[in-house]
């Protein structure tokens, strides 16, 4: 979290129009959810631009969970399992289609995009159970598996990585893009500081309060039972140990309220012996990763993620390859 003594925070030029869009919506999470879901699909299509072609795209049911498998060449033996973001309440397979296509092409591996169940119709633990089922399915069919996601999807990827460790399923990498990691952060001094420091950010007098209130709201919708919000399946930071989880790439945005918990998670991973690469996008805001059509930072972040997956897969031999070596 930026120090309060710093100069007034300013969004980078690429992020200004995005901040203006959020200012116009006031409190988007508290609007009619069906309307918001429909609007989000239109926005995602515009933000993603022209989808890149891939060799094959197949809609599947993965242990009962809808999913979409992208193959850039056609015979890939390694896979990235991807969980879209948007507050555990919004999004589907079309929502993240442009991002997933670019990930597949640049990582040169298959990508399994997961249409996990959404809150409030299906509260916790429905989403993590679906994410886990898809990951187990992938582990039984591909030589190596990485997991990743943005925002709420990053939360699911981190929780899946913990389950994979506990169930002795090796993952090549976890890609966490400005992830939600810890409900306890909502009550932390850093959130209070964010409200103060980010009042007026980008010309929006309600920016700090709206984002802090928004995170609190989505937690309440996703995990209605307060007693379960610190369950490691919901708040991976609350796990007793992070030892022996998959290596991590964590991407943050400078002006994101979630940046502090991502940095804390990265520090804890490193302290407990897990390789972690933490990269911050200066001047950026939460949500930039999906803005391929307008932000070079989005394209760079996707390419950085894809390159990390490609390297991790190359370092992660299959069980058959281990036995033959």
Residues designated as active site? 151, 256, 286
3-state secondary structure of 281: strand
Residues 80, 107 contacting (CB under 8 angstroms) = yes
CA 269/CA 47 separation, integer angstroms: 32
Cα separation values, 232 from 83, 89, 228, 257, Å: 18, 20, 9, 20
3-state secondary structure of 294: coil
CA nearest neighbour of 142 among 116, 166, 109: 109
Q: In this structure, is the dihedral angle defined by the CA atoms of residues 180, 302, 89 and 228, taken in order, positive or negative?
A: negative
Cis peptide before 120 (omega within 30 of 0): yes
Is 298 buried (19+), middle (13-18) or exposed (0-12) by CB count in 10 A? buried
Q: In this structure, is the dihedral angle defined by the CA atoms of residues 293, 298, 300 and 304, taken in order, positive or negative?
A: negative
């Amino acid at each position: 979290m930026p120090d309060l003594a710093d100069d007034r925070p300013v969004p980078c030029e690429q992020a200004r129009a995005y901040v203006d869009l959020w200012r116009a919506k006031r409190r988007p999470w508290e609007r009619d959810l069906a309307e918001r879901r429909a609007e989000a699909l239109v926005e995602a299509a515009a933000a993603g631009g022209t989808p890149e072609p891939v060799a094959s795209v197949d809609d599947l049911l993965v242990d009962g969970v809808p999913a979409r498998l992208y193959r850039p060449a056609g015979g890939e033996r390694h896979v990235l399992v991807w969980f879209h973001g948007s507050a555990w309440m919004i999004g589907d397979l079309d929502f993240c289609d442009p991002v997933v296509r670019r990930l597949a092409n640049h990582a040169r591996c298959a990508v399994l995009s997961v249409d996990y169940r959404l809150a409030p119709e299906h509260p916790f633990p429905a989403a993590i159970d679906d994410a886990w089922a898809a990951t187990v399915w992938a582990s039984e069919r591909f030589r190596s598996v990485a997991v990743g996601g943005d925002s709420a999807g990053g939360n699911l990827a981190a929780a899946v990585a913990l389950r994979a460790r506990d169930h002795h399923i090796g993952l090549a990498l976890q890609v966490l893009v400005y992830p939600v990691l810890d409900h306890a952060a909502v009550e932390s001094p850093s959130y209070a500081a964010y409200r103060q420091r980010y009042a007026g950010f980008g010309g929006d007098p309600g920016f700090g309060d709206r984002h802090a209130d928004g995170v609190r709201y989505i937690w309440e919708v996703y995990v209605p039972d307060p007693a379960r919000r610190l369950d490691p399946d919901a708040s991976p930071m609350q796990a007793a140990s992070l030892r022996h989880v998959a290596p991590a790439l964590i991407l943050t945005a400078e002006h994101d309220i979630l940046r502090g918990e991502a940095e804390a998670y990265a520090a804890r991973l490193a302290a407990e012996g897990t390789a972690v690469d933490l990269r911050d996008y200066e001047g950026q805001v939460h949500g930039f990763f999906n803005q391929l059509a307008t932000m070079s930072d989005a394209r760079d972040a996707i390419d950085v993620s894809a390159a990390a997956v490609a390297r991790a897969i190359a370092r992660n031999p299959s069980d058959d390859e281990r036995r033959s070596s």
